[in-house]
């Protein structure tokens, strides 16, 4: 059974750093792109970026380029997104999702499995 299990809720202060995780199981981790999606309170879904675990090829949305860093640890079947200096506007639910199909150069067309979400609250 494919599962994506995300790390728990975080409460941070502005300026602090943070790394949240998404542990995959039930499939060959290296062969599927993993995307990250932000959902601010009461708002819609925003695609942040995506990574191919096989070679760590990473693409970012222009809106998130330079604001976050996406990475993987293949030995742990885990993807991450991290912030070096959080802002109050980073308060949101963050989802990881597996991109179905695709290949080493291009992700699949849709996200078939989703993590349960990691709530990040940034407040002074």
Q: Which residues bind to another protein, rule: CB under 8 A?
A: 35, 37, 44-47, 49-50, 59-63, 95, 97, 99-100, 107-112, 114-117
CB of 7 to another protein, least distance (A): 14
What are 22's strand-pairing partners?
Answer: 6, 79
* Distances, alpha carbon 92 to alpha carbons 10, 46, 74, in Å: 10, 11, 26
Nearer to another protein, 35 or 53 (CB): 35
Burial of 74-100, coded b for 16+ CB within 10 Å and e otherwise, reads: eeebbbbbebeebeeebbbbbbbbbbe
CB of 29 to another protein, least distance (A): 19
Nearer to another protein, 23 or 59 (CB): 59
CB of 113 to another protein, least distance (A): 8
């Amino acid at each position: 059974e494919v599962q994506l299990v995300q790390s728990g809720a975080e409460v941070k202060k502005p300026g602090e750093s943070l790394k949240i995780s998404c542990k995959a199981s039930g499939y060959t981790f290296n062969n599927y792109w993993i995307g990250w999606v932000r959902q601010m309170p009461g708002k819609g879904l925003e695609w942040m970026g995506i990574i191919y675990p096989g070679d760590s090829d990473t693409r970012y949305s222009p809106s998130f380029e330079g604001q976050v860093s996406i990475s993987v640890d293949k030995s742990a079947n885990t993807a991450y997104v991290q912030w070096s200096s959080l802002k109050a506007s980073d308060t949101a639910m963050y989802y990881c999702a597996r991109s179905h199909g695709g290949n080493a150069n291009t992700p699949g067309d849709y996200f078939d499995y989703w993590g349960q979400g990691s709530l990040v609250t940034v407040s002074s």
